[in-house]
Structure 1
Amino acid sequence: MHYILLFSLLLSCSGPIVIKGDQTVPTVDHSSWNELLQKHVDTEGNVDYQGFVTDKEALANYLERLAKNPIANNADKNERLAYYINLYNAGTVQLILDNYPLKSIKDIFRPWGKDIIPIGNDSYSLGDIEHKILRKMDEPRIHFAINCASYSCPKLLNKAYTADKMDAQLEQAAIDFINDPKRNTIEADTVVLSEIFNWFKRDFTKNGSLLEYIDHYANTTIDKNAKLSYRNYDWSLNEAK
């Protein structure tokens, strides 16, 4: 796991990506992505990849629309969050479909390092989208919204993220992930967290300690001196059984 943390830290030290192109591009409609999610993802975030294969063309068309309509750098923050969160999640699903069947995203060579996401006239990796764009937007809850196609990841929401519902969607994603006993175990004096909180600790601790951040969302009140540890990450494909 150390190489993952090192990779993320190196990327986070880089400057944000500036997307070139028309700054007057209208908001992209995410309804087709929403329809695909409703059709192939259950409420627990499990994905019917076999079913998704039948709609691979519709997914490709959605990603093509995003590529041809890059979000303006001066667009509303929630519009940009919706664009890049949906782009990351849809791009991850496409990556899985391009290599399906497989048992884990880590069976793919450099899944987060290859430039497979076109935006305008350029191409970016999933790592670029996460570390150089989304993490630069000063919104730690993005870690609960983007999905890496694995069981230990936050669940893939079966609805598209939209600008008008962004804060509510991110808040619910944080509540759901932090209180999910499959990802985190939270008791008053003992807290076992997802490795996500270890890898990206500094994103969650800009305004306080990590336990304070967790306590804000947890159903259980956490003692300030609670014992903290992290659980092993399950990279198995988040496929519906």
Structure 2
Amino acid sequence: MSHRLFDELLKRHVTDEGLVNYQGFMTDSVQLTAYIELLSNNAPNDSNWSDDDQMAYWINLYNAATIDLVLKYYPVESIKDIGSSIQVPFVNTPWDIQFIEIAGKQYDLNNIEHNILRKKWAEPRIHFAINCASYSCPELRREAYEGALLQRQLDEQARAFINDDFRNDITEQSAELSKIFDWFSGDFGKLMSLRDFINQYADQKISEETKITYKEYNWKLNDAN
């Protein structure tokens, strides 16, 4: 299926630094809604979708739905303000709001991340592709993910994120890493050690002697305005 509608929006409303022009997305909300409805009506399946096509679908859905959720409550200081702090009934966090309908079934963002993307594929690079609308998240890519391009796109996201000294401060002696590597240590350690994973992409390699700590996560909204 085509992700052209979302690709156009990302090119138009995401800055070179990965910040999001939510006001611009609001102006183009009809196009965003049309894209989400396209996904809703074209759920992937194992029989005629490749793994990469399926993964691209769910990553794009997560990112588009996150933007859509922020727009429903915009302006907010943080995505974490959505949920219990603004009294959405029976909801504790924004990731638990069931507002995404795919083939007649309701999903929340946690369903997509944990029950589909992480559960179905042993692919830690997804953590650099999905964007939680916050400063410490990996930058939102300025193009939609496509099955045919996915492996290159994921590699580029991993390399950009790991070498971004705002999100990871790496020297030979110490590595102050994103909290993402702590929260999802099991994902990064499935196929190799965390150090080996980092060294696949880091310009500055680390050794067994390198002390690893984790940065505080900045949940401020990744708003370009």
Structure 1 length normalisation: TM-score? Answer: 0.87
SS in 2 for 1:57: helix
Instruction: Please give the alpha-carbon distance, in whole angstroms, between the structure 1 residues aligned to 2:191 and 2:223.
Output: 36
Q: Distance in 1 between matches of 2:191 and 2:53?
A: 25
Q: 1:77 aligns with which of 30, 43, 51?
A: 51
Tell me whether 1:52 sits opposite 2:25 in the alignment.
yes
Candidates 170, 176, 196, aligned match of 1:212: 196
- Report sequence identity in percent: 48
1: CA distance, partners of 2:155 / 2:128: 9
C-alpha distance in structure 1 between counterparts of 2:9 and 2:171, whole Å:
37
Give the 3-state SS of the residue equivalent to 1:159 in structure 2: coil
Query: The residue matched to 1:112 in structure 2 has which SS?
Result: helix
User: What does the per-residue CA deviation read over 1:62-101, in whole Å, with 9 as the maximum and x for residues that have no partner?
Assistant: 0001001101133200000110000000000000001101
In the aligned structure 2, how far is the partner of 1:43 from the partner of 1:119? 31
CA distance in 2, matches of 1:82, 1:43: 21
**Which residues of structure 1 form unaligned runs of 5+?**
1-27
2:80 corresponds, among 85, 93, 106, to: 106
CA offsets 1:125-158 (integer angstroms, 9 cap, x no match): 0000000000021111000000000000000001
Which of 18, 34, 38 aligns to 1:61? It is 34
Q: What is the aligned partner in structure 2 of residue 12 from structure 1?
A: none
**Residue 192 of structure 1: CA displacement?**
0.4
What code does the residue aligned with 1:99 have?
Y
Give, in whole Å, the separation in 2 of the partners of 1:126 and 1:39: 24
**Matched ranges for 1:123-142 at <5 A:** 123-136=106-119, 137-142=121-126
Deviation at 1:189, TM superposition (A): 1.6
Of 183, 188, 213, which residue of structure 1 is paired with 2:172? Answer: 188
Aligned residues: 214
- 1:161-219 deviation digits (Å, cap 9, x = unpaired): 00110000000000000000010001112000000000000100112221111111100
2:169 matched to 1:159?
A: no
1:115 aligns with 2:98: yes
